[in-house]
A and B are shown apart, each in its own frame.
Chain A
Amino acid sequence: MSKMTRRKFLSVSLAGAAAGTFTLSGKAIGAAGFTGYPDGMGVLVDLTRCIGCRTCEAACNEEQKLPAPAVPFDDHSVFDELHHGGTQKRRTDENAFTVVNRYEAGKEGQPAYRKIQCNHCNEPACLTSCFVNAYTKTKEGAVIYNSKVCVGCRNCMVACPFRIPAYSYSSAFNPVIRKCIFCYDTRLKFGRPPACVEACPQEVLTFGHRKNLIKVAYERIRVNPGRYVGHLYGENEVGGTSWMYLSGVPFEEVGFDTTLQKEPILANAQAFLSNVPMVLSIWPALFLGFHRLATRGGEGAEEKPATEKREDI
């Protein structure tokens, strides 16, 4: 199956899963209008401070016990990499939960940098699209997942507006989702900021309660209007995200999708569904079968949830 066909296939299955007869369809619909847990934490990313040192990438690699990188984390030649026919800057993948890219858009001839990772949406499309309930939005704000129940259907990969979830294919029978987890199990749940936040020499990343970070962001814009474009990215995009961004240059010039809706992605799926009754009735049953197959034992069952993998902190 070609890539395009598979994507299309998955978009359809996404719709089916969200509206199917599973218990989680109730959860998904219930999520509409949810604006995040009131005491949820977040990270304010101030791109005007980023110097592209990639220390955050190294910190994430260490904290999440990811495999060694292809090139050292102090090698800046990665900024010149272009993938997928020379159009695509680096993206997160199963071995790199965060990457920093360089853009020529900076002020006064200076480059601008942007760090990418999961934005930990208030109403995560990955979560609502997952029909086996692999995802959880914790009260601290993290969007985590249980790779034990993941069946590798890639619904979330298609649903995520930021193209974050990646798959590890180390097990042929049970590809599992991998992405930034806000350092939930080692740090966030103990009230500590993520590894990347702590490592950054410039405090590009400010950790705190999401509602406070919104105030901080607008105060920075107010005090220094010349430094910023007057928009807090992630405050409202797709229903709001726990990680939000300030920039000195237009967001679309540093790789942001500025066409995203304010409503959570889920709303789309629901509207789409009502027009596709066939899909509703067929796909959930098929995927339930998939799930049973994948979870009945064997290799897949040995996979531990991401949150239980740790031996130490």
Chain B
Amino acid sequence: MSEHGPGIGQNLPGAGRRGGPVNRRKIMKPFNWIAGSVMVLMVICLPLSGQGDTLKLPETVTLDNLAHLYGGAEFDHDMHLDIAADCTECHHHAAGVPTTNEKCARCHGPEDTLEAQTCQTCHAVDPFSAEAVTAKETDPSVYHIDKPGLKAAYHLNCLNCHNEMGGPVGCEDCHERTEAGDAFYHSGKYAPSGEGTSSAH
């Protein structure tokens, strides 16, 4: 648990800074993440509130993307709330505020349901199945054709900012590699003994 992570069930401290109804809501905050490299960031994508009610967010969300290569990471939402000017720096849709992404905003207004505001509603968890590829390409809107999957949406969003702000950018700065990951990268105890084939040239 990081010093910024007060744990499940406490209010989201950053929420009082912006006026408007969204910030008065009691929000449950999940912090102890396990399993799934991608699910780490699910926290920032879950609907942050119901209509004025306390909403219980799931403690863990299991996503399969790369889960065998990297374990879960701990996303410090508090700390990011402190350094971000507002929610829209990370979220296209923060709960109750209109989308900031110009492309999305052409069709998706503030009246969109909260369900429509979760990351994975738009960014597919598995964009690489034959069905997903076909579905994406037969969508008549070009914006939807060029939509990254969930794994890429997270990485692009996080790493772009981390690069600009000098945040950590190494894979293992955010999520620990699993043994399967070591095997995949031929690293750690699976590192070549020196008998491997020469590096490509």
Question: Which residues of A line the B interface, CB within 8 A?
Answer: 49, 51, 53-55, 58-59, 61-62, 66-75, 78, 81, 83-84, 88, 90-93, 95-96, 99, 110, 190-193, 197-203, 206-209, 212, 215-216, 219-220, 223
- Cα-based distance from A78 to B200 in the complex (angstroms): 9
Contacts of A215 in B (CB 8 A): 142, 145
**Contacts A91-B201, A202-B152; A208 near B133 (Cβ below 8 A):** yes
Near A by CB (< 8 A), chain B positions 68-92 give: none
Q: Are the C-beta atoms of B186 and A58 separated by less than 8 Å?
A: yes
- Residue of A95, A110, A206 near B146 (CB, 8 A) is A206
- A92-B200, A201-B151 given; A72·B156 CB < 8 A: no
Of the residues A61, A198, A209, contact of B128 by C-beta under 8 Å: A198
The answer to whether A73 and B186 have CB atoms under 8 Å apart is yes
Not counting A192-B133, A215-B142, A220-B146, a sample of 4 additional A-B residue pairs whose C-beta atoms are within 8 angstroms of each other reads A72-B187, A73-B186, A73-B187, A203-B156
Q: Is the CB of A191 within 8 A of B186?
A: no
Report A-chain residues with C-beta under 8 Å of the C-beta of B198: 70, 95
In the complex formed, the residue of B with least CB distance to A204 is B152
When the two chains form their complex, are residues A70 and B192 in contact, meaning their CB atoms are under 8 A apart? yes
Q: Are B142 and A191 in contact (CB under 8 A)?
A: no
- Subset of 8 A-B contacts with CB under 8 Å: A49-B156, A62-B184, A67-B196, A68-B195, A68-B197, A70-B192, A90-B201, A95-B198
The answer, among B133, B149, B156, B188, for a CB contact under 8 Å with A191, is B133
Complex CA–CA separation, A95 to B192 (angstroms): 14
From A71, A198, A223, contact of B199 by CB (8 A): A71
Cβ proximity bits B157-185 to A, threshold 8 Å, 1 near / 0 not: 00100010000010100000000000011
Residues of B within 8 A of A62 (CB): 184
CB within 8 A of B163: which of A68, A73, A110, A208?
A110
Docked pose: A92 CA to B103 CA in angstroms: 38
How far is B155's CA from A300's CA once the two chains are assembled, in angstroms?
Answer: 47
How distant is A288 from chain B, measured CB to nearest CB, in Å? 34
Q: Is B116 an interface residue (CB 8 A)?
A: no
Residues of A near B201 (CB, < 8 A) are: 81, 83-84, 88, 90-91, 93
Do A91 and B200 form a contact, CB below 8 Å, given A72-B192, A220-B146? yes
Given known contacts A110-B163, A208-B145, is B133 in contact with A69 (CB within 8 Å)? no
A90 → B minimal CB distance (Å): 5
- Among B151, B152, B171, B200, the residue within 8 A (CB) of A95 is B200
* Distance (whole angstroms) from the CB of B201 to the closest CB of chain A: 4
Q: A190-B130, A202-B152, A207-B133 are in contact. Are A51 and B186 (CB under 8 A)?
A: no
Residue B134 at the chain A interface, CB threshold 8 Å: yes
Contacts of B188 in A (CB 8 A): 72
Report the separation of the CA atoms of residues A201 and B155 in the bound assembly, to the nearest whole angstrom.
Answer: 6
A99 touches B156 (CB 8 A): no
CA–CA, A42 and B134, complex, Å:
14
Beta-carbon contact of A72 and B185 below 8 Å: yes
Interface of chain B residues 115 through 161 with chain A (CB within 8 A): 128-130, 133-134, 136-137, 142, 145-146, 148-149, 151-152, 155-156, 159
Q: Which residue of B lies closest to A83 (CB)?
A: B201
